[in-house]
Amino acid sequence: MPTHRYRMKSSQRAVCLTLTIAGIFMLLIFWGGVLTGRREPKFLEMMFPVVYLVFAGTMTIRSFHNQVALSESGIELRNFRGDTILPLDKIKGRRRYFSPGDDMAPGIWHLVLESNDDRFSKLDIEELYRFDDVFYRWFNQLPDLDESDRQHPKTSNFGLV
């Protein structure tokens, strides 16, 4: 299997880029008015566009930088925190869960790959990437740990004295 690289969805990138452009316009309007003498400098009006632009710019860089790569040897998640690689022979199985959003952000599905080796951490991938049929066929052929947990519930002695 050749390496398949998956980037964030175009819609995610477009939204982030639009927010960054809006931040640049706010910065030009607020700071331009102060620099030309048409506005009185007010701390919050001066700082809001800067903070907003830093946030939107970070999200834009994230949307263009992050990627998932699936190869013959493993799966790699590249993000701001660094690159995380999970070899294919160290994958115990898969999970999938929904993280509900709130008023500010919609909910998102997560694809989780759990490791059978403590030296490798699990991969928790937000389903914001443009995954194709090759990825989903590979992902769905892994053991479903959620289904396994439903069929074989684990007993707990937590809290017993």
% of the chain residues with pLDDT over 90: 65
Greater confidence (161 vs 154) lies with 154
According to the model, what pLDDT value does residue 105 have? 76
Q: Tokens for 47? A: 């700082």
pTM of the model: 0.74
According to the model, what pLDDT value does residue 42 have? 84
Give the pairing of strands 108-115 and 91-99.
Answer: antiparallel
pLDDT of 156 higher than 70: no
CA distance 100 to 111: 14
CA distance 13 to 7: 10
According to the model, what pLDDT value does residue 91 have? 95
Q: Tokens for 56? A: 């939107």
First to last CA, the chain: 52
For the chain, the average pLDDT equals 89
CA distance 90 to 84: 13
Lowest mean pLDDT among 4-8, 11-15, 69-73, 144-148: 144-148
% of the chain residues with pLDDT over 70: 93
Over residues 58-88, the pLDDT tens digits come to 999 999 999 999 999 999 999 888 899 999 9
Identify the bridge partners of residue 95 per DSSP, sorted by sequence position. 112
According to the model, what pLDDT value does residue 81 have? 83
H or E segment and range at residue 94: strand 91-99
Label residue 110 by pLDDT band (50, 70, 90): very high
Domain residue spans in the chain? 4-64, 89-150
DSSP track, 53-72: HHHHHHHHHHHHH-EEEE-S
pLDDT of 148 higher than 60: yes
Please report, to the nearest 10 degrees, the dihedral formed by the alpha carbons of residues 54, 55, 58, 59 taken in order: -150
